[in-house]
């Protein structure tokens, strides 16, 4: 919106309210772009699709189905549409992070499978501890836990590259990029070992230059972990292996991505489903197959038109080249 890419920005709830009151025109000239579509509840997304279809408008859903689901609402439709619609476009490269190694690691967090995930978790194990903050001389001392290497941030580097951060929920941070082209971006995420894979994935993909994750064990009985005399919570620092184990569990076990009832039913053996549900799934499979076939025909026609245009362009260039060659023999330039 800052770059004047669109002429109006609204929340989904506000847009639906205006559409229902006939205060927002949706017609053939309208393009609706829904950002963070995975966080839109299924009922709200369904109403948006109905409005765009009725007005013959174009609707573009943008998002990541592996990120956070809607809060207190049914979700999963965005991921189902990505699977069912053959023209869905998928980005295969990360641009937010500047470090290529971290880009690959973030994709491993997203897929959470195999040796690639284990390698990524090992990559994220490079931990630091703040040793002290010198307020008078404006210095920060830190130690790397793997090899006890120490560093002091001060002077120009401290002023230009280290800034005071702010705390917020993972949900509020989704879609945020920390750091700019002229500013170093570092993000710290603090999660319980019972957190979900989506929370870890979102938190670890906000910063351009560094993304760190601190995992603490969820305590079932806080009273046993407090000093009865001082009332202070006793902290216990874990090992890098414990941290890797906790992160692996979060990514592989705690996958709570939202799913539509249709998706859940589709993962079930058809013979175990009620007849009416199985029939609905069969019809949807048929529609998906027909849609995919129509899309293949459509793209084949586009490719044929592009190939014909290239042949015409090549023939025209060859004719022009021959004409110039003949003209040069007579001292003429045609």
Contact of 262 with 76, CB cutoff 8 Å: no
* Whole-number Å distance between alpha carbons of 141 and 150: 7
Exposed/middle/buried for residue 234 (C-beta within 10 Å: 0-12, 13-18, 19+)? exposed
Predicted local confidence at residue 21, as pLDDT: 92
**Domain definitions of the chain by residue range:** 1-90, 100-252, 275-334
Predicted local confidence at residue 240, as pLDDT: 82
Local confidence pLDDT in tens for the 334 residues of the chain: 556 666 788 889 999 999 999 999 999 999 999 998 988 999 999 999 999 999 999 999 999 888 888 877 788 899 899 989 999 998 878 888 888 888 888 888 888 777 888 888 877 777 667 788 888 888 888 887 777 888 888 888 777 766 555 556 777 777 778 888 777 888 888 888 888 888 888 888 888 888 888 888 876 555 445 555 655 556 667 788 888 888 888 888 877 788 888 888 988 999 999 999 999 999 999 999 999 999 999 999 889 998 999 899 888 888 888 877 765 555 544 4
Predicted local confidence at residue 280, as pLDDT: 93
Q: How far is CA 121 from the centre of its chain?
A: 19
One-letter-per-residue 3-state SS of 105-164: HHHHHHHCCHHHHHHHHHHCCCCEEEEEEECCCCEEEEEECCCCCEEEECHHHHHHHCCC
Predicted local confidence at residue 3, as pLDDT: 64
Kindly report the CA angle at 76 between 71 and 81, in degrees rounded to 5?
A: 140
* CA separation, residue 198 to residues 66, 110, 112, 170, 244 (Å): 6, 8, 11, 9, 17
Predicted local confidence at residue 34, as pLDDT: 93
* Whole-number Å distance between alpha carbons of 253 and 81: 25
| Torsion angle (degrees, nearest 10) of CA 85, 86, 87, 90 | 90
* Whole-number Å distance between alpha carbons of 111 and 201: 10
Predicted local confidence at residue 164, as pLDDT: 56
Q: Per the structure block, which two tokens stand in for 182?
A: 């002229």
The fold of 1-90 is Rossmann fold (3.40.50)
């Amino acid at each position: 919106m800052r770059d004047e890419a669109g002429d109006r920005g609204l929340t989904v709830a506000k847009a639906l309210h205006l559409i229902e009151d006939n205060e927002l025109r949706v017609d053939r000239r309208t393009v609706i772009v829904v950002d963070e579509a995975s966080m839109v509840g299924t009922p709200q997304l369904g109403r948006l699709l109905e409005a765009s279809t009725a007005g013959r408008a174009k609707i573009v859903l943008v998002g990541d189905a592996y990120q956070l689901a809607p809060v207190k609402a049914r979700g999963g439709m965005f991921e189902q549409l990505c699977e069912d619609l053959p023209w869905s476009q998928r980005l295969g490269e990360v641009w937010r992070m500047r470090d290529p190694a971290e880009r690959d690691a973030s994709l491993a967090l997203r897929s959470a499978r195999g040796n690639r995930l284990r390698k990524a978790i090992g990559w994220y194990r490079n931990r630091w501890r703040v040793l002290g903050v010198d307020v008078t001389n404006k210095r920060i001392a830190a130690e790397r836990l793997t090899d006890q290497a120490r560093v002091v941030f001060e002077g120009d580097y401290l002023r230009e590259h280290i800034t005071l951060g702010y705390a917020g929920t993972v949900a509020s941070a989704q879609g945020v990029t920390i750091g700019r082209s002229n500013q170093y971006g570092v993000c710290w995420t603090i999660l319980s070992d019972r957190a979900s894979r989506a929370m870890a994935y979102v938190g670890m993909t906000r910063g351009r230059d560094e993304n760190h994750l601190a995992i603490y064990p969820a305590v079932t009985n806080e009273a046993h972990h407090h000093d009865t005399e001082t009332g202070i919570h006793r902290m216990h620092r874990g090992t890098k292996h414990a941290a890797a184990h906790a992160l692996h569990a979060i990514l592989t076990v705690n996958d709570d991505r939202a799913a539509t009832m249709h998706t859940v039913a589709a993962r079930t053996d058809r013979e175990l489903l009620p007849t009416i549900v199985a029939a609905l799934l069969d019809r949807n499979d048929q529609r998906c197959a027909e849609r995919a076939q129509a899309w293949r025909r459509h793209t084949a026609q586009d490719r044929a038109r592009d190939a014909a245009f290239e042949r015409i362009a090549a023939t025209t260039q060859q004719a022009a080249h021959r004409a110039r060659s003949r003209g040069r023999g007579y001292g003429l330039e045609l």
